[in-house]
Structure 1
Amino acid sequence: MAVIEKQSSEQHEGDVTCLAYHNGQLFSGGADGKIKIWDNDLNLIKSVDAHDSYIYAMAINSNNGKLYSSSCDGCVKFMAPPYDQTEQLFCCDDAIQAMYCDGDILYTGDEKGVVTNWIDDKIKFKYNLVEEVKSLGAEKSLIYTVRDLDVVVSDMIAGKSGKYSNKAVLPGKSPLALVGPVIDDKRTFLVFADRSGKGLSLVKNLPQQKFESVWNLTNCHELIIQAICGDENTVFSGGYDNKVKGWTNLEQTIPTPLGEVEVGSCVNALVCSGNKRVYIGASDGFVRRAKFV
């Protein structure tokens, strides 16, 4: 069973394109170039004119709360608490469509397939992974990237700038997410859309398990999946069919369905807040909070 508990008090002009959650606050990025900050009950705290155009992605440093955002103008900016204004990290000619923070380390992925590793807001390494990066994850020395056909797991070679080796190539499509309990600083599972875009695949992520498949849910959505998020015990997905669906007992060969909610608009972004709650960013400009029981 699942219900929509709350809807945001205001909306973006155009789509909500990305979401981030930290320390009891929700951040939404939109096609209007604004980043809106909400409390847990989706009351607006403030709205920041972050970019001149469409925001592609956001990532948040879980240690200090610094929020990074990228736009189709080629710029990556950041805001530190209390999130009053943005500062520019860099600008380039290539669209940064995906970002991820692994603790203090920021990763950005662009349309030419270059993943850049940032430490203390300075470039450490660049990795040319060849294929456009639409979704991105990272843990320790591993980078997880995906476009439309394959999820690629790359191992960064310590001490050698830009050198990496491929650990795995898995059939799949954007988006992807690292989920499950943390063991030795690594998430237990990797989940992503299958090549049809309508199903979900979950594989084991711990090093000794060699990305072994746990389950595949074919055609669990009627239309293409746009967003995936998860935590220690749950996975949520949503997309063009205007629905968000949830699963738990991820380690089973068939996960347990938690139900679904009808959003009424295309689901562009999801982020978990714990206790089987998920925030939903949609194409109508509103943010919603759903509770799965």
Structure 2
Amino acid sequence: MKVSVNASNEDKHDLDVNHLIYVKHKLYSGSDDGKIKVWTPDLKLLTEVQAHPCSVYCLTASEDTLYSSSNDGTVKTWTLDDLKEKKTLLNQPNFEFWRVAWSDGYLYVGDDQGNIRVYNNEVYYGIMNIAEPVKDMAVDGHILFTANLDIIITDVKLKGKNLQCINRINIYGKAPLTLAGNTLCFTNREGRDIIVHEKADEKNWKELTQMKGAHELIINSLAGAACNGKVDLFSGGWDKNVKRWSIEGNKIEYKGSCDLGFTVNTLILGENDTVYAAGENGYICRIDGK
């Protein structure tokens, strides 16, 4: 693993980067400077917008729309191609919207008070409360995974007139979390161990393996993908390292690391065995796995 390219000092964000997504051969970044920036795969800046007056916490995307959430109490929508503002979908100044996730026509919005609002094709559908702030979130079909000081798995009923949900299980752990292949990956409460569970309702999401002391300091982000029956998992955090792991069956194996020189807040997989990392002081880089 090695850093192959960095965003230039002239183009990078002015403050910490909180979130990355990779969509249709482009990288999108959201930062504490309130800006969203769009990059080529080799980190050439394509466009940017002052999306919010304060922090952009999270980004997600449908086929043609980018969604951004902020501590200014809004969720906004943008054209995916050129970042033209479409509308403010949600404006609630008493809330901080920490996470957004889009799946199969539904947008999920998680806030600092444990609420998750659900929109169907941008029309408000309903709200649920999971009793703790939504620090991280992922969706797989009708199953919603949320994390702060527990991993909460919720079955969301999307067919009726009104939103219904059933809590399936709470797992002792902590954000961040990621879904990769048939696995659910997250950290322990201390934030330095990686825990891997099976992503299967019928098997009650049983634990597969753990990696004790995966990082010396707290892990801030996990990202993974499945290929040929194996899961490649990447982790990064306060120790300024990005590490690569291979998960197969009930085993997790260390595959290498890269010292970036900055605190890592967010990771996302790109194409051709690449991963993007971003965080402290606006730094963004691409790491090549081969």
Q: TM-score, normalised by structure 2?
A: 0.93
Alpha-carbon distance between aligned partners in 1 of 2:183 and 2:83, rounded to the nearest angstrom:
36
CA distance in 2, matches of 1:5, 1:103: 34
- Contact 1:3–1:291 (CA under 8 A) maintained in structure 2: yes
Q: Which amino acid aligns with 1:121?
A: E
Contact 1:151-1:173 within 8 A present in 2 as well: yes
Aligned counterparts of 2:145 and 2:95: Cα–Cα separation in 1? 20
SS at match of 2:191: coil
Alpha-carbon RMSD: 1.4
Amino acid at match of 1:50: A
Residues 232-247 of structure 1 mapped to structure 2, 5 A cutoff: 232=226, 233-247=231-245
Q: How far apart are 1:55 and its partner, in Å?
A: 0.9
Q: Structure 1 residues 160 and 217 mapped into 2: Cα distance closer, same or farther (>3 Å)?
A: farther
Could you list the runs of 5+ residues in structure 1 that have no partner in the other structure?
A: 181-187
TM-score (normalizing by structure 1): 0.92
Q: Which among 264, 286, 292 is matched to residue 289 of structure 2?
A: 292
2:253 pairs with 1:259: no
The 8 Å contact of residues 54 and 71 in structure 2, kept in 1 or not, is answered as yes
Q: 2:147–2:174: 8 Å Cα contact kept in structure 1?
A: yes
The 5 Å alignment of 1:19-30 reads 19-30=20-31
Give SS of 2:281's match. coil
Corresponding residue for 1:69?
A: 68
Match of 2:244, SS? Answer: strand
**SS at structure 2 position matched to 1:46:** strand
Counterpart code for 2:104: G
CA distance in 2, matches of 1:240, 1:65: 34
Q: What corresponds to 1:134 in structure 2?
A: 135
Contact 2:146-2:152 within 8 A present in 1 as well: yes
Paired residue for 2:5? 6
- 2:203 is matched with which residue: 202, 206, 209? 209
- What does 1:1-293 correspond to in 2, within 5 Å? 2-9=1-8, 10-61=11-62, 64-86=63-85, 87-92=87-92, 93-148=94-149, 150-157=150-157, 158-159=159-160, 161-180=162-181, 188-232=182-226, 233-248=231-246, 250-293=247-290
Counterpart for residue 184 of structure 1: none
Are residues 159 and 104 of structure 1, via their aligned partners in 2, closer, same or farther at CA, if it must alter by over 3 Å?
Answer: closer
- Aligned to 1:284, the other structure's residue is in SS state helix
Aligned-partner SS, 1:274? coil
1:238-271 Cα shifts (integer Å, max 9, x gaps)? 01110111112x2332223221111101001111
Whether the aligned pair in 2 keeps the contact of 1:214 and 1:251 (CA below 8 Å) is no
Contact 1:229 1:270 in 2 (8 A): yes
Amino acid at match of 2:151: V
Calculate percent identity across the aligned residue pairs.
29
Mark the runs of 5 or more structure 2 residues left unpaired by the alignment.
Answer: none
Distance across 1 between alignment mates of 2:120 and 2:109: 12
Count how many residue pairs are aligned between Structure 1 and Structure 2: 281
Distance verdict in 2 for CA 1:52–1:290, change over 3 Å: same
CA distance in 2, matches of 1:163, 1:202: 28
Post-superposition offset of 1:162: 4.2
SS of 2:205's equivalent in the other structure is coil
2:54/2:70 contact within 8 Å kept: yes
Which SS does the other structure have where 1:255 is aligned? strand
Q: Do 2:125 and 2:163's aligned partners in 1 also have CA atoms closer than 8 Å?
A: no
State the alpha-carbon separation in 2 of the partners of residues 103 and 236 from structure 1.
26
Determine the C-alpha separation between the residues in 1 that align with 2:90 and 2:168: 30
Tell me by how many angstroms 1:165 deviates: 1.8
Matched residues in 2 for 1:162 and 1:133: separation?
19
In the TM superposition, what is the alpha-carbon distance from 1:225 to its structure 2 partner?
Answer: 0.8
